[in-house]
Chain A
Amino acid sequence: MEHVVIIGNGIAGITAARHIRKNSDKKITVVSAESKFFFSRTALMYVYMGHQKFEHTQPYENWFWKKNRIDLKEGLVENINTDQKKLIFKDTSTISYDRLIIATGSKPNKFGWKGQDLEGVMGMYHKQDLENLEKHAPNNIVCKRAVIVGGGLIGIELAEMLVSRKIPVTFLVREDSFWNGVLPAQESEMINKHILEHHIDLRLSTNLKEIKADKNSKVTSVIIEETGEEIECNVVGLTAGVTPNIDFIKGSKIDIKKGVLVNRFLETNIADVYAIGDCAEQHEAIGQRRTIEAVWYTGRMMGETVAQTICDNKTEYKPGHWFNSAKFLDIEYQTYGWVFSERNKQENETYFQWQHPKENKCITISYNANSRQFLGINTFGIRMRHEIFDKWLSKNKTIEHVLEYLADANFDPEFYKLHEAEIVAKFNQENNTNIQLKKKSWKRIFSI
């Protein structure tokens, strides 16, 4: 019986394991150094905040793995011998494979800051980071202040976590507005304001110079690059992005760049070795996607795809239209298609924007100024239907079409106030058009 070994039990590796089991009778082993059972790392924040217990982050009950004959092995792989098709563990034990899937995910970026490895300095990615945070920031007596370095999605989540325990937070963001490399200014500014509303000490255009410690190597303060200001703190969160977690592959014959290089079939340069999820790097970008995508659902999709290939149905990895979502403190964010920030706007990309006068709600729709083609939408505080936008993107609908049928796309809970009429009115006013908003139609929603 063919033995498929998967290194990494995150969403990519586990999805691959589940789909291989669905489609075959192969022997499956999943290796992890982080935790015995699969858990959802996106939920780690909720454990610290007391919304959930760690066990709630595990999507499958513990009996699931045995019942589905997915062997779980705890251990840290130190080497891959692709000639002998063997993994060598830290404890020198080995395991042989017929096919190998590398799904080791990411690790937090560290840019060589002085003091970046001190006690009390941590990322927020692994289960161990959560345990570390619990140790160094159990409450605002032990942790008088925390400094977070890096204004991305994990940074703002870490800030939210600490604020939930009433720990004062200073948030250092390199950009002059939060996440404005990705978000248009309107939205980025709304989030800036929202961060301040939560009493987070947001420092824009601010970089970390160094982290200082006491004689026990415990963090005591950070120094700001621009001003030389010293900020006393007990915890430093490093959340300046992530990078593929592939150091252990460096000595093997597998080609790597920043990540493990793979083709569209997720195959590496070595036969029977595949890489999926955050740690995989495409030779060439797919559409406008990045070559490495550290996104939950792409990990899942690669797992689904590689399982097909391994089960003798060779399948190309074809992520569909880009979409994503996040939550910035209380504000939900969804995006479908591509909306680039002002900084990275594409040729002919034009915005139509609407913002609620009082509440934290706004949208940006990108479209091609010449062809009127709808390119993508960012929505804040308004939920939208994925399937509808997927359809509109596939069919190259125009901005006018999207606005006319916008009510079909709303996904807010029942009784919520709808804003489509205001949105369409604003567009009509700005563009001298006369688009009439159509009422929501189930028939259209289901005729995908």
Chain B
Amino acid sequence: MKFIKNIGLVVFIIGLTIFTTSIFTGSFNLTQKELNSYISDKGYKSDVLKEALSKAIVTSNNINIFEFSSKVTAAFETSNNYYDAQIAKYSAEKNWAKKSEQYEYKIFGKPHSLSYELAKKSGKGFIKENPGLVWFLTFGLGIIGALLFILPNLILLGKPGIKNDGIYHESATNRGWIAWLVLVYLVTFYLVLYFRPDYLVNWTFIFDPISNFLNGGDASQWFVYGFLYCTIMLVMGTRMYIKYRHNKYQIVRTTSVLFFQIVFAFLIPEIMTSLNMPGYDFKSAFPLDYDFFFEWNIESLKNSGGIGIFILVWGIVLTLVIVPVMVYFFGKRWYCSWVCGCGGLAETLGDPYRQNSDKTLKSWKLERWLIHAVLAFSLLMTAVTLYCYFSGTQSFLGIKSQWIKDTYSFLIGAWFAGVIGTGFYPIFGNRVWCRFGCPLAAYLGFVQRFKSRFRITTNGGQCISCGNCSTYCEQGIDVRAYAQKGENIVRSSCVGCGICSAVCPRGVLKLENGPEDGRINPTEILLGNDVDLMSLINKK
């Protein structure tokens, strides 16, 4: 069994290595004709760009993706620098007509997006020609290897029950070198995904056939990411099923997050796209879905007929009605650990790292400042955006709409939610984003704390302060601090993953929804001691 595990590990690493190194392969160049048609499709008027690009990438030489990227971005810069200089020149000459004319030649957007699009058009090589084979060598081997590594646990872990043996003896789960290595890999992955998508263009070739089948178009880097996300959740979900097979709550919950990720976040949007509808994730609620109220999204929905209007209404109702009402009845867990994609990844890929969340009082303070600041930021951004959208102005309260949207997307959308949120799993625990950053979680937290039927009930005086609950709380809640006082847990950050209850050796904790009366219980004295005093308290 151990042998099978080791083979699995080797196969997985081979798959991962091929996947990672595949981005270095292939060659990229265009014919003049291809370039011309791209430029005219995009409506670029800049001759400087055309000339620079022709010089750089219209060649019969085989250019690799990194060289290609730097050439295209250089051409982009050259063109924009040229027209910026023209603008400055006409501005000095006070030649306003000429000056405003120059703006038409400027290229908007990101240089690496331009590079990505051109690379996508011009890529050649083994991957492009053999996507099926490469899929098997990367995803196939990765999946097979991972499953070979995970499935023997069914026997190796022994009888069903809590299996946390050795977690703090392993480098991978105890912040050792393996954990740091994984952190570096994940952080690099997210940095490239968000800021250098062109480098990943080879990966998109692997997925062109699958993407064409699902939505009728070639794969983008986001398609690759979505597929990868679902695959990882499925494989690591299998691990959850084995590890917690004695615990029905975990089994049902894991099934739920897998379902919502694969069907709602992945399949439905892809199918909608293939039907010429806007691809929409019906479970993704504002303000986690922070660009829902961006002009381009509203415009696109408005122009998509009935379904677009439905989505617009649904999105608003989801945030304003469905989400809080469900939190009232079930706690924020219905979203954060049953439905949400970020939560889904945290509960599957992130489960081995849950013990690394910081439990100190300091981190709780930091958490409250940060998460509420992000909520305020997202609301401010949306207010500015909507005001500008309806009034047709560029700024509100002195804040430029484009600037605040770009800033939020960059700082929160890419850095916090992606690079830090997932990249830091191995060292800081699996809920970094959900705990410190997610504005939706902050909003749900208010409802959960002040108006909800959800609580974690503490079972009288049975707690022995062992600390398993606190150690394995991914949200860094010091669960024991409440349990040993006999106090029910009604913390806004609790995502209701149920692991505290699972790891408790004495049956002290139970997640439940019940009447609001009695949700916050009296804690003057712990149950068991001095029955007279107990009855006195009960009389009060």
A interface residues (Cβ-Cβ under 8 A, vs B):
11, 40, 42-43, 46-47, 49-53, 56-59, 61, 164, 197-198, 296-297, 300-301, 304-305, 315-316, 318-321, 323, 325-327, 329-330, 332, 334, 383-387, 390, 394, 411-417, 442-443, 445-446, 448
Say if the beta carbon of B249 comes within 8 Å of chain A.
Answer: yes
CB distance from B46 to the nearest CB of A (A): 60
What are 29 A-B residue pairs whose CB atoms fall within 8 Å in the complex?
A40-B466, A50-B164, A50-B165, A50-B167, A50-B169, A51-B164, A51-B471, A52-B168, A52-B468, A53-B168, A59-B481, A297-B464, A297-B528, A304-B530, A318-B531, A320-B531, A330-B162, A332-B506, A383-B507, A385-B459, A386-B527, A411-B507, A412-B510, A413-B248, A413-B502, A413-B511, A442-B514, A443-B515, A446-B514
B526 near A387 with CB under 8 A, answer no
B511 near A11 with CB under 8 A, answer no
CB distance from B140 to the nearest CB of A (A): 33
B510 near A320 with CB under 8 A, answer no
Say if the beta carbon of B465 comes within 8 Å of chain A.
Answer: yes
With known contacts A320-B531, A414-B249, A197–B159 Cβ distance under 8 A: yes
B507 near A51 with CB under 8 A, answer no
B460 near A49 with CB under 8 A, answer no
CB distance from A278 to the nearest CB of B (A): 14
Which of the residues B251, B462, B467 comes within 8 Å of A40, measured between beta carbons? B467
CA distance A132 to B264 in the complex (A): 54
A-B contact count (CB 8 A): 174
B527 near A390 with CB under 8 A, answer yes
**A387 to B, closest residue via Cβ:** B460
CA distance A413 to B247 in the complex (A): 8
Interface residues of B in 481-540 (CB under 8 A from A): 481, 484, 498, 501-503, 505-507, 510-512, 514-515, 517-518, 525-532, 534, 538
With known contacts A413-B511, A414-B249, A56–B534 Cβ distance under 8 A: no
B166 near A164 with CB under 8 A, answer yes
B510 near A413 with CB under 8 A, answer yes
A59 near B249 with CB under 8 A, answer no
Hey, which chain B residues are within 8 Å of A390, CB to CB? Answer: 460, 527-528
Hey, which chain B residues are within 8 Å of A53, CB to CB? Answer: 168
**B465 to A, closest residue via Cβ:** A40
Hey, which chain B residues are within 8 Å of A301, CB to CB? Answer: 461, 526, 528-530
B465 near A11 with CB under 8 A, answer yes
Which size bracket describes the interface of B in this complex? 35 or more
Hey, which chain A residues are within 8 Å of B514, CB to CB? Answer: 442, 445-446
CA distance A385 to B507 in the complex (A): 9
Hey, which chain A residues are within 8 Å of B109, CB to CB? Answer: none
With known contacts A300-B526, A386-B461, A320–B466 Cβ distance under 8 A: no
Shortest 5 CB-CB contacts between residues of A and residues of B: A386-B460, A330-B161, A383-B507, A43-B466, A301-B529
CA distance A443 to B518 in the complex (A): 10
Hey, which chain B residues are within 8 Å of A305, CB to CB? Answer: 529-530
CA distance A305 to B525 in the complex (A): 10
Hey, which chain A residues are within 8 Å of B196, CB to CB? Answer: none
Greatest chain A CB density within 10 A among B168, B361, B529 is at B529
**B505 to A, closest residue via Cβ:** A327
Hey, which chain B residues are within 8 Å of A416, CB to CB? Answer: 248-249
CA distance A221 to B63 in the complex (A): 72
CA distance A385 to B480 in the complex (A): 18
Hey, which chain A residues are within 8 Å of B529, CB to CB? Answer: 300-301, 304-305, 318-320
B484 near A59 with CB under 8 A, answer yes
CA distance A51 to B158 in the complex (A): 16
Say if the beta carbon of B184 comes within 8 Å of chain A.
Answer: no
A414 near B468 with CB under 8 A, answer no
CA distance A308 to B168 in the complex (A): 40
Say if the beta carbon of B252 comes within 8 Å of chain A.
Answer: yes
Hey, which chain B residues are within 8 Å of A58, CB to CB? Answer: 467
B159 near A304 with CB under 8 A, answer no
Hey, which chain B residues are within 8 Å of A11, CB to CB? Answer: 465
CB distance from A85 to the nearest CB of B (A): 29
Hey, which chain A residues are within 8 Å of B391, CB to CB? Answer: none
Hey, which chain B residues are within 8 Å of A315, CB to CB? Answer: 530
Which of the residues B169, B361, B471, B506 comes within 8 Å of A325, measured between beta carbons? B506
Interface residues of B in 85-101 (CB under 8 A from A): none
CB distance from A386 to the nearest CB of B (A): 3
CA distance A326 to B169 in the complex (A): 25
**A57 to B, closest residue via Cβ:** B467
Say if the beta carbon of B360 comes within 8 Å of chain A.
Answer: yes
Which of the residues B167, B461, B515, B525 comes within 8 Å of A51, measured between beta carbons? B167
Interface string of B149-178 (1 = CB under 8 A from A): 000000000111110111111100000000
Which of the residues B158, B166, B531 comes within 8 Å of A49, measured between beta carbons? B166
